[in-house]
Amino acid sequence: MASPVLFRSIAGSALALLFLSNPGCGGGDSSPTPKRQPLTLDSPVESRGAVTPPFDASGVTWKGPGLLLTNAWGKWALAGEPRYFNAEHLYDLINGGSDVFVNYGFREIVTADYRHPEKPGVTLNAEVYDMGSLLGAFGRFSLYLDNMADPSRAGDDLPEGMQEFGILGDGDLLAWKDRYLVHLTLLDENPGASVEQIRQNADEALPAIAAQIFENVKAPAMRPPETSLFPTADILGRSWTRQWNRTLGYETLPAGFTARYQRDRALWTLFFTDEFATAAEAETAVTALKKSAASPDAGTAAPLAAMVVGRRIVGAVNGGEDPPAADIYQPSLDALKEAVAGWTPPAPAAAPETNG
């Protein structure tokens, strides 16, 4: 069964349940995925240490993505100076996983720890990633949902207005709005801390804090308009992805969008690419795609169908063990072709310098 995926796995002296790292682009198997589940622990992180006297946050100056945070969330008070990392130094925070953030336009992250006077040994870590654009934040977030067999209900336990834009796990929460990714994690270093205790503490704190951070992002919560081009019949809810390059792993394809579909046991993925410079270049690429993907050494399956629409490539690929019959996937592919052919991209909006 495919597991939900968030930023990275953490194991301390007690359980901190995060989603297993290294998201891919291919989706999971066809079995149902629980909305919430204990998740694999992997690499250790530095201990937050014993309870110390309250941190004096009066001199803290928030900047950049830190403007979405605050010195306290109710009784959860800032426990130390917030830390900032830009693209050049992101590896210092995310060992081995920073490149994919940079590929999606990452600019800067702020990370801050909070502690509660009535919960010794428990730390709430807040991270806000400025991904540079709505498309960048959506794209990075979409890869986590892509590893879930059925992502449609991953945000059911979040506050209204956030459910389409977040994932709640056992001990952490991931959400995105406009150009920001927000990751909240509850770490419990008390000996004998149980999954149930971590989940209860996380459920009490994380959704409410995430909702306040959402309110601090002044832009509206909205998906990229390109996702509306995918037909809704048979679609797996929230399965859209933004592929930053080599859509679905095909060497001849540029960046693009995908969505997964299912009817009974039949699984397929629809995709369309960003525009090529000319229609002729798109024709050359789709010819190379069909030829290279069908070769024994390609490592990827040949698409069920692929064709040029304007200056884009639109197609379908098998998402299961056995390819679906053409009469299963063809209606959705035809609908996507028609939508892409008649679509004019909106003019790109300039990213604001600050969140104010």
Q: Which residues pair with 86 in a beta bridge?
A: 108
Task: Assign 252 to helix, strand or coil.
Answer: coil
- Among the listed residues 13, 177, 21, 171, the one whose alpha carbon sits nearest the alpha carbon of residue 99: 21
Angle at 267 between CA 262 and CA 271, to 5 degrees: 90
Tokens linked to 3: 């597991």
SS (H, E, C) 295-356: CCCCCCCCCCEEEEECCEEEEEEECCCCCCCHHHHHHHHHHHHHHHHCCCCCCCCCCCCCCC
Instruction: Give yes or no for a contact between 94 and 85, defined as CB atoms under 8 angstroms apart.
Output: no
Alpha-carbon distance of 99 to 105, in angstroms, equals: 10
The amino acid sitting at 353 is: E
pLDDT of res. 28: 38
Instruction: Give yes or no for a contact between 150 and 2, defined as CB atoms under 8 angstroms apart.
Output: no
Instruction: List, in order, residues 6 or more apart from 266 with CB less than 8 Å away.
Output: 320, 324, 325, 328, 329
**Residue 267 carries which DSSP code?**
E
Task: Assign 18 to helix, strand or coil.
Answer: coil
Helix or strand holding residue 284 (H, E): helix 279-293
Alpha-carbon distance of 39 to 232, in angstroms, equals: 31
Helix or strand holding residue 134 (H, E): helix 134-146
The amino acid sitting at 267 is: L
Return per-residue pLDDT of the chain as tens, 356 residues: 233 334 332 222 233 333 333 333 443 333 333 344 433 223 334 445 544 668 999 999 999 999 999 999 999 999 999 999 998 888 888 877 888 999 999 999 999 999 999 999 999 999 999 999 999 999 999 999 998 999 999 999 999 899 999 999 989 999 999 999 999 999 999 998 899 989 999 999 999 999 999 999 999 999 999 999 999 999 999 999 999 999 999 989 999 999 999 999 999 999 999 999 999 999 999 998 888 766 666 556 779 999 999 999 999 999 988 899 999 999 999 999 999 999 998 876 655 554 54
- CATH number, domain 225-341: 3.40.1000
> Phi then psi for 12, rounded to 5 degrees?
-115, -155
- Among the listed residues 353, 271, 265, 274, the one whose alpha carbon sits nearest the alpha carbon of residue 311: 274
Domain residue ranges in the chain: 1-222, 225-341
Tokens linked to 268: 């397929």
pLDDT of res. 284: 96
Q: Which residues pair with 242 in a beta bridge?
A: 257
Alpha-carbon distance of 201 to 187, in angstroms, equals: 10
pLDDT of res. 338: 98
Residue at token pair 């509206």: 220
Residue at token pair 């069909």: 290
The amino acid sitting at 18 is: L
pLDDT of res. 21: 34
Alpha-carbon distance of 294 to 224, in angstroms, equals: 32
Instruction: Give yes or no for a contact between 131 and 181, defined as CB atoms under 8 angstroms apart.
Output: yes
Instruction: List, in order, residues 6 or more apart from 260 with CB less than 8 Å away.
Output: 27, 146, 235, 236, 239, 267, 268, 269, 319
